[in-house]
Amino acid sequence: MAIPPGINESDFTAALAEFENAVGKDWVFTRDEDTRLYRDAFSPVQNEPEEILVSAAVAPDNVEEVQAVVRTANRYGVPIYPISTGRNLGYGGSAPNLSGSVVLDLKRMNRVIEVDDKRHFAIVEPGVSYFDLYRYIQDRNLKVLIDCPDPGWGSVVGNSLDHGVGYTWGLYRDHFIAHSGMEVVLPNGEIMRTGMGALPGAESWGDYRYGFGPHVDGLFSQGGFGVVTKMGFHLMPEPEAYLKGIVTVPARQDIVDLTAMVNQLEHQGIIGMPNYNTPLAPHLATPEVSAMLSQPFAQAAQELERWAQGNELGYYSVELQFYGPRETVQSNWRYAQRLIGDIPGATFETLHELEWPIAADEAEGLHKVALGIPNLEIFRLGTRQSADTLGWDGEMWFAPIIPKNGEAVLEAQEVFTEAFREAGMPSFTHPASTPQTWMYRAFVFLMGFPVSKVDVAANQRQREMFTHLANLGAEHGWGEYRTPPIFQDLVMSHYSFNDHVLRRFSETLKDAVDPNGIISAGRGGIWPRHLRDRSA
Amino acid sequence: MKHLMTALTIVGLLLSMSSGAQVPEDGQTSRELGILLEAPESRAELIARGEAVYEYWCNACHGPEMLKPGTAALAIKYQGALPAALTERTDMVPEFVEQMVRQGISMMPFFRPTEVSNADLGALTAFLTDNSGD
Ligand SMILES: Cc1cc2nc3c(=O)[nH]c(=O)nc-3n(C[C@H](O)[C@H](O)[C@H](O)COP(=O)(O)OP(=O)(O)OC[C@H]3O[C@@H](n4cnc5c(N)ncnc54)[C@H](O)[C@@H]3O)c2cc1C
In tens, the pLDDT along A2-52 reads: 899 999 999 999 999 999 999 999 999 999 999 999 999 999 999 999 999
Same domain, A529 and A420: no
Position B27 in a domain: no
DSSP letters, A87-112, are --TTTTTT--SSTTPEEEE-TT---E
Q: Return the H-helix or E-strand segment holding B29.
A: none
Please list the residues that pair with A241 across neighbouring strands: A324, A355
Q: What is the pLDDT of residues A425-472, one digit of tens each?
A: 999 999 999 999 999 999 999 999 999 999 999 999 999 999 999 999
Residue A101 has pLDDT above 80, yes or no: yes
Position A35 in a domain: yes
Residue B28 has pLDDT above 50, yes or no: no
Q: Which positions 118-177 of A are in contact with B (Cβ < 8 Å)?
A: 128-129, 131-133, 135-136, 139, 152-153
Cβ-based interface (< 8 Å): residues of B facing A: 20, 22, 24, 28-31, 35, 37, 60-61, 65, 67-70, 72-73, 76-77, 79, 102, 104, 106-115
Q: What is the CATH number of the domain that holds B86?
A: 1.10.760
CA–CA gap between residue A480 and residue A488 (Å, rounded): 9
Same domain, A120 and A50: no
Total domain count, chain A: 4
DSSP letters, A282-313, are GGTTSHHHHHHHTS-HHHHHHHHHHHHHHTT-
If DSSP codes are grouped into helix, strand and coil, which group holds residue A379? helix
Position B33 in a domain: no
Total domain count, chain B: 1
* Ligand 1 midpoint to CA A227 (Å): 15
Residue A536 has pLDDT above 90, yes or no: no
Quickly count: other Cβ atoms within 10 Å of residue A366's Cβ.
Answer: 16
Residue B13 has pLDDT above 50, yes or no: no
Distance from the first to the final alpha carbon of chain B: 29
Q: What is the CATH number of the domain that holds A184?
A: 3.30.465.10
Q: Which residue of B has its CA nearest to A106?
A: B114
Q: Identify whether the C-beta of residue B111 lies closer than 8 Å to the C-beta of residue B101.
A: yes
Same domain, A59 and A36: yes
Q: What is the CATH number of the domain that holds A409?
A: 3.40.462.10
Q: Which residues of B touch A393 (CB under 8 A)?
A: 106-107
Q: Do A384 and B113 touch (CB under 8 A)?
A: no
Asked whether A174 lines ligand 1 (CB < 6 A), one says: no
Position B29 in a domain: no
Q: Which residue of A has its CA nearest to B106?
A: A393
Tabulate helix, strand, coil % of chain B (nearest 5). Answer: 55, 0, 45
Of A38, A111, A377, the CB nearest to B31: A111
Residue B59 has pLDDT above 90, yes or no: yes
Q: Which residues of B touch A94 (CB under 8 A)?
A: 112
Of A61, A87, A391, the CB nearest to B107: A391
How much is the pLDDT for B40?
Answer: 87
Q: Identify whether the C-beta of residue A451 lies closer than 8 Å to the C-beta of residue A394.
A: yes
CA–CA gap between residue A337 and residue A319 (Å, rounded): 12
- Residue A41 belongs to what domain range? 9-105
Q: What atom of ligand 1 comes closest to residue A159's alpha carbon?
A: 25
**What percent of chain A lies above the pLDDT cut of 70?**
99
Q: Of the candidates A482, A510, A527, which is a domain's last residue?
A: A482
Position B34 in a domain: no
* Ligand 1 midpoint to CA A159 (Å): 4
Quickly count: other Cβ atoms within 10 Å of residue B76's Cβ.
Answer: 17
Position B81 in a domain: yes
Q: Identify whether the C-beta of residue A46 lies closer than 8 Å to the C-beta of residue A451.
A: yes
Same domain, A28 and A95: yes
Tabulate helix, strand, coil % of chain A (nearest 5). Answer: 40, 20, 45
Q: Mean pLDDT, chain A, as a whole number?
A: 96
Please list the residues that pair with A450 across neighbouring strands: A395
Position A457 in a domain: yes
Q: Do A37 and B67 touch (CB under 8 A)?
A: no
CB within 8 Å of A527: residues ≥ 6 apart: A507, A510, A517, A521, A534, A535
CB within 8 Å of A40: residues ≥ 6 apart: A46, A51, A52, A89, A92, A93, A94, A95, A484, A485
Asked whether A106 lines ligand 1 (CB < 6 A), one says: yes
CA–CA gap between residue A142 and residue A125 (Å, rounded): 19
What letter would DSSP give residue A511? H
Q: Identify whether the C-beta of residue A210 lies closer than 8 Å to the C-beta of residue A202.
A: no
Nearest residue (by CA) to ligand 1, atom 9, is A149
Same domain, A101 and A118: no
Q: What atom of ligand 1 comes closest to residue A381's alpha carbon?
A: 1
Position A33 in a domain: yes
CA–CA gap between residue A501 and residue A524 (Å, rounded): 14
Q: What is the pLDDT of residues A68-87, one digit of tens each?
A: 999 999 999 999 999 999 99
Q: What is the ipTM of this complex?
A: 0.94
Please list the residues that pair with A479 across neighbouring strands: A401
Q: Which residues of A touch B80 (CB under 8 A)?
A: none
Is pTM, for the whole model, over 0.90?
Answer: yes
How much is the pLDDT for A205?
Answer: 97
CB within 8 Å of A385: residues ≥ 6 apart: A391, B76
Position B24 in a domain: no
Instruction: Tell me the pLDDT band of B22, cut-offs 50, 70 and 90.
Output: very low
CA–CA gap between residue A208 and residue A180 (Å, rounded): 6
How much is the pLDDT for A266?
Answer: 98
Same domain, A492 and A409: no
Position A186 in a domain: yes
* Rounded average pLDDT over A204-228: 97
- Residue B102 belongs to what domain range? 2-18+40-132
Q: Identify whether the C-beta of residue A236 lies closer than 8 Å to the C-beta of residue A168.
A: yes
Q: Identify whether the C-beta of residue B46 lies closer than 8 Å to the C-beta of residue B39.
A: yes
Position A344 in a domain: no
A37 in contact with B, Cβ within 8 Å: yes
Quickly count: other Cβ atoms within 10 Å of residue A47's Cβ.
Answer: 12
Q: Identify whether the C-beta of residue A415 lies closer than 8 Å to the C-beta of residue A471.
A: no
Q: What is the CATH number of the domain that holds A89?
A: 3.30.43.10
Position A75 in a domain: yes
DSSP letters, A331-371, are HHHHHHHHHHTTSTT-EEEEEEEEESSPPHHHHTTS-GGGG
Q: A379 CA to chain B: closest CA distance, Å? A: 6
Q: Identify whether the C-beta of residue A441 lies closer than 8 Å to the C-beta of residue A404.
A: yes
In angstroms, how far is CA A45 from the centroid of its own chain? Answer: 20
Q: How big is chain B, counted in residues? A: 134
Q: Which residues of B touch A93 (CB under 8 A)?
A: 109
Of A41, A129, A383, the CB nearest to B73: A383
Q: What is the pLDDT of residues A270-310, one digit of tens each?
A: 999 999 999 999 999 999 999 999 999 999 999 999 999 99
